[in-house]
């Protein structure tokens, strides 16, 4: 099967010596947009492209508002900060995630508690979440309290793994019933929909990433999706060092962050956004190629069959940890980049949980998952 997979990947990316896991797709449109921004001299955190980019993403996601940030980690930290997450609190999340999810929690002074994932989508399991809350927590004056540690459950941060939508509607309902603010880590899920809504719009906030390896990029960048105007204004205020508008004086209303996306990056994002429909269509084709191939050999992909995924990374589930390692080494020898899932956060010393919950599905998927090349292999046409 390995040889046939190598041939399939080579056929999808003809003429390339080393095939990357995921890379950006640029053309003259991006170069012209960035050059125009440079010529305007508005290259830092003030400029018209930032506002335009925010409006485009807010409209695409139907989120009401979108606040651009320097990266997805900053977007997540800012979201938790504005929600009032602080030292001594607990934030529920999943261990199968990029370390930035855990690091943003630590930045607030809170501690993580990891909820196991569900398959085949590889994201937080609603049943596991509800079981933890019913067994180990209580509600006290509309606050959820972890009984053993007496800490407040200040937020829940599920992640849409590999761009595949989580069972987020069920998670959102549980969070509402238990008075827990929901922040979706949709860093990889731009263009993914479930229950008729874009990922990142089910909770109080949702965050996106525009890192260089995402489905569209601003080089580095992130976005917070928000439907509440008051909260959106506060997010923007705090992300701009909490500076009070004044033509002369530098006065600040509170401790703020320098988290705004530079205008230069936003200009790149606008050009990339025009190609997003083409990117998503090609992603469908790539996913279909992999799905048909692996069905022949009785392997499954991480996938939510009930949702509309952007198929950011196609991730196959191998039969064993040994077979996973064999595939990674085989593809490496043939100059094809692949990677395992993120090393689980609960196994990393600085990201230890307040309580040790069993995470059998997380450990099982990590031991078998291999993400395969999923870049858009052509220069997508730019259109309005």
pLDDT in tens, 344-370: 999 999 999 999 899 999 999 999 999
Position 381 pLDDT exceeds 80 = no
Tens of pLDDT, residue by residue over 125-158, are: 999 999 999 999 999 999 999 999 999 999 999 9
Residue 364 CB partners (closer than 8 Å, separation 6+): none
pLDDT, average across residues 161-179:
98
Tens of pLDDT, residue by residue over 92-131, are: 999 999 999 999 999 999 999 999 999 999 999 999 999 9
Tokens of 170: 């069920």
pLDDT, average across residues 197-211:
98
Tens of pLDDT, residue by residue over 284-296, are: 999 999 999 999 9
Residue (of 344, 65, 314, 84) closest to 208 by Cα position: 65
Tens of pLDDT, residue by residue over 227-258, are: 999 999 999 999 999 999 998 999 999 999 99
Indicate the pairing of strand 137-139 with strand 144-146. antiparallel
Residue (of 324, 297, 309, 306) closest to 374 by Cα position: 309
Second CATH level (architecture) for the domain 2-25+275-372: Alpha-Beta Complex (3.90)
CB 200 within 8 A of CB 206: yes
Position 312 pLDDT exceeds 90 = yes
| SS3 state of residue 247 | coil
Position 340 pLDDT exceeds 50 = yes
Task: Write down the pLDDT at residue 377.
Answer: 75
Instruction: Say how many CA atoms lie within 13 Å of 189 toward its Cβ.
Output: 32
Residue (of 76, 81, 82) closest to 103 by Cα position: 76
Q: Exposed/middle/buried for 80, CB within 10 Å: 0-12, 13-18, 19+?
A: buried
pLDDT, average across residues 295-316:
97
CA distance linking residue 344 with residue 150, whole number of Å: 26
Residue 89 CB partners (closer than 8 Å, separation 6+): 108, 109, 110, 111, 151, 152, 153, 154, 155
| SS3 state of residue 378 | coil
| Averaged pLDDT of the chain | 96
Domain positions in the chain are 2-25+275-372, 28-273
CA distances, 276 to each of 8, 61, 358 (Å): 25, 12, 39
pLDDT, average across residues 288-311:
97
Task: Tell me the backbone φ, ψ of residue 83, rounded to 5 degrees.
Answer: -75, -10
Task: Write down the pLDDT at residue 118.
Answer: 98
Position 259 pLDDT exceeds 50 = yes
CA distances, 192 to each of 71, 164, 184, 235, 262 (Å): 19, 7, 13, 24, 26
Task: Write down the pLDDT at residue 383.
Answer: 44
Fold match, 2-25+275-372 / 28-273: no
Q: Which CATH class is domain 28-273?
A: alpha beta
**Structure confidence at residue 261 as a pLDDT band (50, 70, 90):** very high
Tens of pLDDT, residue by residue over 9-38, are: 999 999 899 999 999 999 999 999 999 999
């Amino acid at each position: 099967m390995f040889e046939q997979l190598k041939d399939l990947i080579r056929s999808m990316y003809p003429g390339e010596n080393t095939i990357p896991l995921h890379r950006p797709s640029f053309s003259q449109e991006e170069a012209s947009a960035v050059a125009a921004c440079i010529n305007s001299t508005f290259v830092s955190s003030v400029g018209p492209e930032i506002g335009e980019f925010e409006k485009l993403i807010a409209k695409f996601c139907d989120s009401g508002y979108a606040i651009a940030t320097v990266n997805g980690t900053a977007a997540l930290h800012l979201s938790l900060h504005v929600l009032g997450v602080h030292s001594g609190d607990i934030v529920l999340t999943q261990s199968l995630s990029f370390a930035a999810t855990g690091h943003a929690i630590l930045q607030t002074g809170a501690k993580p508690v990891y909820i196991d994932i569900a398959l085949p989508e590889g994201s937080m399991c609603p049943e596991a979440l509800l079981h933890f809350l019913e067994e180990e927590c209580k509600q006290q004056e509309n606050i959820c309290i972890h009984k053993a540690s007496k800490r407040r459950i200040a937020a829940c941060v599920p992640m849409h793994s590999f761009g595949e939508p989580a069972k987020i509607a069920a998670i959102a309902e549980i969070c509402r019933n238990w008075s827990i603010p929901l922040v979706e880590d949709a860093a990889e899920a731009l263009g993914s929909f479930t229950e008729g809504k874009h990922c990142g719009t089910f909770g109080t906030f949702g965050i996106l990433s525009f890192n260089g390896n995402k489905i569209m990029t601003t080089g580095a960048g992130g976005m917070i999706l928000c439907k509440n105007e008051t909260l959106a204004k506060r997010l923007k205020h705090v992300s701009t060092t909490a500076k009070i508008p004044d033509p002369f004086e530098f006065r600040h209303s509170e401790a703020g962050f320098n988290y705004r996306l530079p205008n230069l990056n936003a200009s790149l994002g606008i050009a990339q956004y025009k190609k997003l429909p083409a990117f998503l269509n090609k992603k469908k084709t790539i996913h279909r190629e992999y799905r048909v191939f692996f069905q022949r050999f009785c392997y499954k992909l991480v996938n939510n069959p009930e949702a509309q995924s952007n198929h950011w990374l196609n991730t196959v589930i191998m039969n064993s940890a040994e077979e996973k390692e064999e595939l990674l080494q085989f593809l490496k020898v043939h100059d094809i980049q692949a990677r395992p899932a993120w090393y689980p956060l609960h196994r990393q010393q600085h990201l230890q949980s307040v309580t040790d919950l069993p995470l059998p599905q997380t450990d099982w998927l990590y031991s078998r998952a291999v993400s395969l090349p999923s870049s858009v292999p052509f220069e997508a046409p730019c259109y309005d």
